[in-house]
Each structure stands twice: as C-alpha cells, then as structure tokens.
C-alpha cells in the first residue's frame, strides 16, 4: 500500500480531530461531478469545494456526509472569478462526528434537532433542505410527459409448460 493511502486510512481511524486555522466543518449537499461537490457551512452558505484526487478509490462520500474543508483562500478565489471556493482536506466518519458533536467546534446548524423545532425555525436548516429535496423527488417521479416504455423485443420468451397444458385442456372440453 502506498504512503498516501496509508496516511488517509490512519487519519480516518484517528478520532481526535483538531481543526487548524482556516478549516471548518461542512456538510455535503450534492455531488456535481468532475471532483466538485456542493457544501454548506455553519452559517448556511453554499459553495463549491474540490474533492482531491488523493481520495479516489479509497474514500467515498454521499449527500449528507460531513467533511473538513480548507477555506484559507476562499476570498481570493472568489475575487478572481473562480467558482470553486475551498478544498476538502478530510472526510469525517461516524466516530469522529460523534466526538465533534460534543465539542464546541461543531456548528449549531448541524446539531440534531427535533422535526418540530426545525419547522418552527426559519433559519433554513439542513433538515428542511433535505426534506424539501426528498419531497420534490417524489412529486416529480411521475411520467414527466415521457411516452410509456416499450417492451424489450431482444429476448426470446421462455417456453411455458403451463400455458400449453391450459390450451390443450381447453380444446378437449369443446
């Protein structure tokens, strides 16, 4: 195993995480492709982050995961016209998230709350955002104006014994 992957796995097992200057915890909102992900910070602001190639084939992320992001050059990147504002430096796993949730470094917006509390709060919490996405997916799951699917004619129908027996027995009774 090469040194890069070995160090990544070692960092994944380490439960004591200390955030450096310029690093913050963000939640993955969507995967954009081409190593880009959309993340939301503790203030509820969305931005694009680069998911480096060193994580390929060793760590996967999905919507709702938490990552540590290096935001040291965010203002400079936005001023230059770049849409990518930050770089993912570490993916947080379950044990790390559990220990961070108890620390003061964990953003308030990501703290687990009851569903009733999140509906009353007008701050645009993450749970509301994800609930709206799920609701939109179910509402748009109908045909969307597309024609019905046609049968696949490339396959030969298997020989059915029951249909032959039924047709033979039906012809004898006539």
pLDDT grade, residue 24 (50/70/90)?
Answer: very high
Can you give the length of the chain in residues?
Answer: 174
Has residue 166 got a pLDDT over 90? no
| Contacts (Cβ under 8 Å, ≥6 apart) of 54 | 4, 8
Read off φ and ψ for residue 98, nearest 5 degrees. Answer: -60, -45
Residue 120 DSSP code: H
Residue closest to 17 by CA, chosen among 88, 108, 98: 98
What's the pLDDT tens digit per position in 71-90? 888 888 888 888 899 999 99
pLDDT at 106 over 70: yes
Write down the pTM of the prediction.
0.61
| Full set of structural domains in the chain with CATH | 3-105 (2.40.50.140)
CA distance 105 to 98: 12
Query: Where is 166: in which H helix or E strand?
Result: helix 161-172
Nearest CA among 74, 59, 62, 85 for reference residue 4: 59
CA neighbor of 100 nearest in space, from 24, 21, 22: 24
Residue 48: pLDDT band with limits 50, 70, 90: very high
pLDDT for 120 beyond 50 = no
Tell me which of 137 and 95 has the higher pLDDT.
95
């Amino acid at each position: 195993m090469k040194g890069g992957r070995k160090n990544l796995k070692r960092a994944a097992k380490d439960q004591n995480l200390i955030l450096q200057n310029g690093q913050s915890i963000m939640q993955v909102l969507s995967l954009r492709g081409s190593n880009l992900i959309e993340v939301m910070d503790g203030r509820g602001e969305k931005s694009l982050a680069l998911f480096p190639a060193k994580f390929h084939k060793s760590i996967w992320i999905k919507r709702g995961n938490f990552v540590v992001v290096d935001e040291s050059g965010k203002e400079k990147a936005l001023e230059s016209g770049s849409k990518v504002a930050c770089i993912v430096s570490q993916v947080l796993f379950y044990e790390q998230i559990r220990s961070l949730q108890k620390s003061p470094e964990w953003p308030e917006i990501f703290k687990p709350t009851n569903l009733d509390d999140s509906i009353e709060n007008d701050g645009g919490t993450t749970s509301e955002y994800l609930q709206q996405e799920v609701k939109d997916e179910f509402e748009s799951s109908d045909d969307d104006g597309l024609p019905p699917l046609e049968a696949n004619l490339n396959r030969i129908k298997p020989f059915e014994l029951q249909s032959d027996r039924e047709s033979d027995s039906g012809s004898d009774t006539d």
